[in-house]
Amino acid sequence: MSNNDQEIQSLRNLIDLYHGDIAVFAEQVFGSILTPKQIEFCEAFRTKRTIAFRGGVGFGKTHAEAIVTWWSLITHDQVQISIFGPSEPQLKGGIYKELQLLYGRMHPSFKDAFDVAATRISRKTNPSSCFAEYRLASGDRPDNARGIHATNNFVLVDEASGIDDEVFTGALLNVLTDPNAKLVLVSNPSKASGFFWRCFNDPDISDQWTHVHGQMNDSPHFNPKTFEQLSKNYGGVTSRQYRVMVLGEFPLSDVDGLIAREFIDAAVANYDEVEPSPTVPVVWGLDPAGAGKDASVLCVRHDNKLLEFHEWRGLEPTALSYKVRDLFEKTPKALRPAIISVDATGLGNGVASNLKDFGLPVHSAIFAGTPTRNPERYSRVRDQLWWEMREWIHSENVGIPNHQKLIEELAVPTYDDNSGKIKLEDKKSIKKRLTGGRSPDYADALAITFAVSKTRYASKYGWSKPIRYDHLQSFE
């Protein structure tokens, strides 16, 4: 074997070693000693397809991202690494800067093999099919995240909490159709909603992700005295910033959210404990939708407990009306609602009219109408009902099921009162931030149940007696 052949074989052996051990790769190529938490992330990257890495500050998330990027470029052929982030300054000042710093420390045996440009790193011998580049991820331009395919297709999403959900659902998840793809989400857990939050908390998808969680004390330079001072700077151990930046935990609620996340979680935890009053009848709330992608949802609430939802898709008003009537007739008489409160805005008006013709106890709630209670406090009925729902949840004596769509829909909306009246965030903006760009159908259906105050009928109808549906106007 010639000297050249021996050198090639030695290099192959070295690459094989690095391929199986990223910690050894980091030490020998860059002189970097990885921490246990960084090794945990690197090993997840090496062996898994979908990884979600949340953490506080100061323990080296960005360094670990840069290490696995260079590892991919050196130990793989036909590899494309796409690095997404919410803004160019964040990308340039974060992971791409770290990639450049590591390039400056790289062992000469590998350094000469790469070109490092402003937004792209490529292998000189095969620049078109072995490269890493960064791109912006924007809900306004999801095309930036589409059409990414390669033999080894690795996608890293930096500050994933700041990426619009539609970028994930409409584009980035598609990379997993490639046979050897990886999708890695890395972020401070700064939001209590959105796709990154769901990767850890939504039982429908969380088991599809390998989770890595880091804290400030995972830093090799952790100093208890410095840690104590930083804790004070972040507002103390009970503050939102402390949870996110120090503990690497998701906040209990989104900033300026209408309904505080901690109360939503408490309502879920209370579900098996709360007992509805036997003198308060059941109320149904119906949020009708047309034949589009949104669902018609009916909420069944008994006093302080949300019992269940019923959902129908693709139904015109008449067909939906018959579905509700059939459900009513199948319900045991003792469990039938005293009121079916319907959002009678638009096509819902026809549904409400049909249900009245069927002889059902219907109350028409016009979301866009003038508030029916405390009009000096709210802009519209929609604002009034959502606020009353908020007060119901914040009472801490309520139970809601562990229904992830409902939980997200309750946690996402914001509000303002700059005009002197409470005004809920508009539905278009809410839909943009909900997973899949959907409408908050479940939360709206629950809100509609508050269109009629329970005090209007609690004394009139004893729950142990048969319910009669006369004088319905007294409920309005």
Q: How far apart are CA 379 and CA 75, in angstroms?
A: 60
User: Scanning the structure block, which residue is given the tokens 């989104």?
Assistant: 254
Helices 22-30 and 3-20: angle between axes, nearest 10 degrees = 130
Q: Are 193 and 408 in contact (CB under 8 A)?
A: yes
pLDDT for the residue numbered 256? 59
Where are the alpha helices (H) located in 272-403, listed in sequence order? Answer: 317-330, 348-357, 381-394
Q: What is the dihedral of CA 395, 419, 435, 171, to 10 degrees?
A: -160
- Other CB atoms closer than 10 Å to residue 127's CB: what's the count? 13
For 340, list phi and psi in degrees, rounded to 5: -110, 105
pLDDT (0 to 100) of residue 458: 43
How far, in Å, CA of 450 to CA of 461, rounded? 17
For residue 87, what pLDDT is reported?
A: 86
Residue 54 burial (10 A CB sphere; 0-12, 13-18, 19+):
buried
If you ran DSSP here, which 8-state letter would residue 422 be given?
Answer: B
Among candidate residues 427, 445, 447, the one with its CA nearest the CA of residue 437: 427
Share above pLDDT 70 across residues of the chain, in percent, rounded to a whole number: 89
Helix (H, G, I), strand (E, B) or coil at 132: strand
Per the structure block, which two tokens stand in for 402?
A: 């562990």
**Parallel/antiparallel/unpaired status of strands 50-55 and 181-187:** parallel
Q: Where are the alpha helices (DSSP H) in 36-94?
A: 36-47, 61-75, 88-93
Q: What is the largest CA-CA distance in the chain?
A: 101
Task: Report whether 475 contacts 456 (CB < 8 A).
Answer: yes
Tell me the chain's radius of gyration from C-alpha atoms.
28
From 3.40.1160.10, 3.90.870.40, 3.30.420.240, 3.90.1150.10, which CATH number describes the 261-475 domain? 3.30.420.240
Asked if residue 126 lies in contact with residue 75, where contact means CB atoms within 8 angstroms, the answer is no
Which residues touch 221 (CB under 8 Å, ≥6 apart)?
58
Quote the CA–CA distance of 31 and 83 in Å, as a whole number: 24
- Give the residue range(s) of CATH 3.40.50.300 domains in the chain: 3-246
E strands, 195-351, in order: 210-214, 282-287, 295-302, 305-313, 337-343
What was the pLDDT predicted at 206?
94
- Predicted confidence pLDDT, tens digits, the chain (476 residues): 456 777 778 888 999 999 999 999 999 999 999 999 999 999 999 999 999 999 988 889 999 999 999 999 999 999 999 999 988 888 998 999 999 999 999 999 899 999 999 999 999 999 999 999 998 886 555 555 566 777 899 999 999 988 988 889 888 898 998 899 999 999 999 888 889 999 999 989 999 999 999 998 888 777 777 777 777 776 666 667 788 888 899 876 665 578 888 889 899 999 999 999 988 999 999 999 976 668 899 999 999 999 999 999 999 999 999 999 999 999 999 899 999 999 999 889 999 999 999 999 999 999 989 999 988 889 999 999 999 999 999 888 999 999 989 999 998 898 887 677 889 999 988 988 888 888 999 999 999 999 987 554 443 333 333 334 443 443 33
- Portions of the chain given CATH number 3.30.420.240: 261-475
| Residue 104 main-chain phi, psi, to 5 deg | -65, -25
**440 vs 408: CA distance, rounded Å:** 9
Could you give the C-alpha distances from 172 to 43, 185, 244, 324, in angstroms and in order?
A: 22, 11, 25, 39
Contact 111, 102 (CB under 8 A): no
Q: Environment class of residue 408 by beta-carbon count within 10 Å: exposed (0-12), middle (13-18) or buried (19+)? A: buried
pLDDT of residue 140: 54
Among the four given CATH numbers 3.30.420.10, 3.40.50.300, 3.40.50.10240, 3.40.190.10, the one describing domain 3-246: 3.40.50.300
One-letter amino acid for residue 359 of the chain: G
Rounded to whole angstroms, how far apart are CA atoms 151 and 171?
A: 18
For residue 292, what pLDDT is reported? 67
Q: What pLDDT was estimated at residue 238?
A: 61
Structural tokens at position 226 = 């410095």
Q: Is 468 exposed, middle or buried (0-12, 13-18, 19+ CB in 10 A)?
A: exposed
Q: Are 340 and 452 in contact (CB under 8 A)?
A: no
Can you read off the two tokens belonging to residue 210? 């390998």
